[in-house]
């Protein structure tokens, strides 16, 4: 009865070649005709691990090792498959005991392969695939265990990846200007899937290589895209406003299968230059040598507020500056003012006069106003 129990453990549903099935039938008849036979305690065959070094590089040689335990079963065959196609068989009772079936991308080195492993030489991209280790036992159990692992073979040495070289943004730009944002990229070995532009992380433009329409725009305040001047690496923005300022991102993605992407971000500053030059106001109307000269410089409105600098006879003034002020106007524009006070000394007088100048600068744009002061009493002429 114990014998029958053992046979019931055996899974009759597995698919076997006719020869094997016939062989089993034979064994079945054999053991059922020997009522005194005792198998003892059964320790089944098992595979602990299948080691597949993945990812590997083109040109590498790798050992695929199948770590199995036979228990108290007897090895019938160890087989290796690639994508379900057998390429290696070790069957100790067969002659020859090792068989190799030629498969593209699989170069077995027999001298380093054995009863638990195969050594593959010189991997190619074709070597990638699902590898299966299968261990089966002979009579009386005819067990059968499999494990599958994926081997990825990469060619990173020769692959040139997609890369963004530069995002050109003409910053600072002036309100009302139109500008081109240009994203310079190198696709390397890849092909383009799409190019996206974001402002403050919100997408406003996409260029697709393989779709119609190829360009899509998502409106945002201050971002007025001119499609006729935009393309696969640039986007043209019309009529900048203060709202156009912010961080702009270009994202380039390569096509299937890799879908690599690169990303780059730059700031756009938008300025409103002062509408007029600074205005100078003086406290007193009359100066003599030894008296304190006191003049205030008021900038025109701009965004951001201008930096003010004073010059005496074209020499920048570092001390004698007072009461720096910034005013924010209801229209968001700003203006600054700064007072200059100094004692009128004879050594500052050149050709009978002293020239003082106030320069207002917003980023790269500046405006200035000068006054000439004569030593004999007071004579003033302002020019911008
Ligand atoms: C595999 O081979 C090694 C040495 O070649 C041997 O020690 C070991 O018993 C063998 N294992 C099986 C399951 O045949
Ligand atoms: C490895 O495979 C490549 C491509 O099949 C072949 O050109 C090269 O000669 C092979 N190298 C060796 C050492 O077998
Ligand atoms: C390998 O197996 C994975 C996961 O099971 C599957 O997605 C993939 O298509 C298989 N590859 C091949 C070549 O059979
Ligand atoms: C981008 O467009 C230009 C001009 O239309 C074309 O020459 C170039 O090949 C395109 N580049 C890509 C990556 O599609
Ligand atoms: C530019 O934008 C400003 C503010 O939104 C608007 O008043 C003006 O009409 C626009 N000019 C053009 C040419 O679109
Ligand atoms: C001129 O200014 C200096 C400090 O800047 C002050 O010490 C001096 O008293 C002032 N002179 C007059 C006449 O106001």
Distance 355 CA to ligand 4 centre (A): 58
Q: Which residue from 174, 176, 221, 239 has its CB within 8 A of the most atoms of ligand 5, so it is best to mutate?
A: 239
Report the candidate in 120, 115, 135 with the shortest Cα–Cα distance to residue 82.
120
20: phi then psi, degrees, rounded to nearest 5: -65, -40
Selected residue with higher pLDDT from 117 and 293:
117
- The residue contributing the CA closest to ligand 4 atom 9 is 232
pLDDT at 384 over 70: no
Question: Would you say the CB of residue 341 lies under 6 angstroms from ligand 6?
Answer: yes
Note the ligand closest to the C-alpha atom of 74: 1
pLDDT value at position 33?
47
- The residue contributing the CA closest to ligand 4 atom 1 is 232
Least confident of 55-59, 70-74, 283-287, 367-371: 283-287
Condensed to tens digits (0 to 9), the pLDDT of residues 112-163 reads: 999 999 999 999 999 999 999 999 999 989 999 999 999 999 887 777 889 9
Sign of CA dihedral 315, 318, 320, 321: positive
Distance 83 CA to ligand 3 centre (A): 8
Q: What share of the chain is helix, strand, coil (3-state, %, to 5)?
A: 10, 50, 40
- For residue 68, the ligand 1 atom closest to its alpha carbon is 13
CA 94 centroid distance within chain = 55
Classify 110 as helix, strand or coil. Answer: helix
- For residue 92, the ligand 1 atom closest to its alpha carbon is 14
- The residue contributing the CA closest to ligand 2 atom 12 is 122
Question: Would you say the CB of residue 343 lies under 6 angstroms from ligand 6?
Answer: yes
Average predicted confidence (pLDDT) for the chain? 86
pLDDT value at position 322?
81
pLDDT at 98 over 50: yes
| 143 token code pair | 């067990």
Condensed to tens digits (0 to 9), the pLDDT of residues 6-39 reads: 333 333 333 344 455 545 544 444 444 444 444 5
- For residue 192, the ligand 4 atom closest to its alpha carbon is 13
Mean pLDDT of 281-305: 84
- For residue 342, the ligand 6 atom closest to its alpha carbon is 5
Selected residue with higher pLDDT from 46 and 320:
46
Mean pLDDT of 280-287: 74
**What is the residue whose two structure tokens read 């203060």?**
242
- The residue contributing the CA closest to ligand 2 atom 14 is 122
Distance 93 CA to ligand 6 centre (A): 115
Condensed to tens digits (0 to 9), the pLDDT of residues 54-89 reads: 999 999 999 999 999 999 999 999 999 999 999 999
Note the ligand closest to the C-alpha atom of 243: 5
Distance 100 CA to ligand 2 centre (A): 19
pLDDT at 285 over 60: no
Distance 233 CA to ligand 4 centre (A): 8
Distance 121 CA to ligand 2 centre (A): 9
pLDDT value at position 62?
97
Query: What is the share, in percent, of the chain residues with pLDDT greater than 70?
Result: 86
205: phi then psi, degrees, rounded to nearest 5: -155, 135
- For residue 70, the ligand 1 atom closest to its alpha carbon is 13
Distance 82 CA to ligand 2 centre (A): 20
State the alpha helices, DSSP H only, in the chain. 2-9, 18-32
pTM, two decimal places? 0.56
pLDDT value at position 132?
98
299: phi then psi, degrees, rounded to nearest 5: -80, 165
Condensed to tens digits (0 to 9), the pLDDT of residues 207-237 reads: 999 999 999 999 999 999 999 999 999 999 9
CA 184 centroid distance within chain = 15
């Amino acid at each position: 009865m114990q014998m029958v129990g053992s046979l019931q453990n055996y899974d009759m549903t597995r698919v076997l070649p006719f020869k094997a099935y016939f062989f089993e039938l034979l064994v079945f008849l054999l053991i059922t005709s020997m009522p005194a036979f005792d198998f003892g305690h059964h320790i089944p065959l098992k595979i602990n691990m299948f080691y597949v070094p993945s990812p590997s590089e083109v040109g590498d040689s790798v050992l695929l090792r199948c770590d199995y335990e036979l228990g108290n079963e007897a090895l019938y065959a160890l087989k290796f498959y690639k994508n379900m196609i057998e390429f290696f068989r070790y069957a100790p009772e067969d002659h020859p005991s090792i068989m190799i079936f030629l498969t593209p991308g699989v170069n077995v080195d027999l001298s380093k392969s054995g009863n638990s492993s195969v050594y593959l030489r010189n991997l190619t991209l074709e070597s990638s695939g699902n590898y299966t280790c299968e261990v089966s036992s002979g009579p009386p159990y005819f067990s059968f265990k499999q494990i599958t692992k994926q081997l990825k073979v990469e060619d990173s040495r020769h692959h040139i990846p997609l890369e963004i070289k530069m995002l050109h943004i003409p910053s600072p730009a002036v309100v009302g200007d139109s500008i081109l944002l240009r994203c310079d990229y190198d696709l390397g070995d890849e092909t383009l899937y799409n190019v996206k532009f974001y402002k403050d992380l919100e997408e406003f433009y996409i260029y697709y290589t393989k779709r119609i329409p190829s360009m899509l725009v998502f409106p945002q305040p201050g971002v007025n895209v001119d499609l006729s001047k935009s393309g696969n690496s640039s986007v043209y923005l019309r009529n900048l406003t203060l709202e156009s300022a912010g961080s702009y991102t270009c994202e380039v993605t390569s096509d299937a299968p890799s879908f690599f992407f690169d990303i780059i971000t730059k700031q756009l500053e938008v300025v409103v230059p002062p509408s007029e030059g600074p205005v100078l106001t003086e406290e007193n109307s009359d100066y003599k040598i030894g008296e304190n000269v006191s003049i205030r410089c008021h900038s025109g409105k701009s965004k951001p507020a201008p930096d003010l600098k004073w010059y005496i006879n074209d020499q920048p003034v570092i001390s004698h500056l007072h009461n720096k002020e910034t005013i924010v106007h209801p229209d968001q524009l700003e203006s600054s003012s700064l007072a200059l006070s100094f004692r009128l000394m004879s050594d500052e007088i050149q050709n009978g006069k002293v020239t003082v100048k106030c320069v207002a600068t917003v980023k790269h744009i500046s405006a200035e106003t000068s006054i000439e002061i004569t030593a004999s009493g007071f004579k003033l002429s302002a020019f911008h």
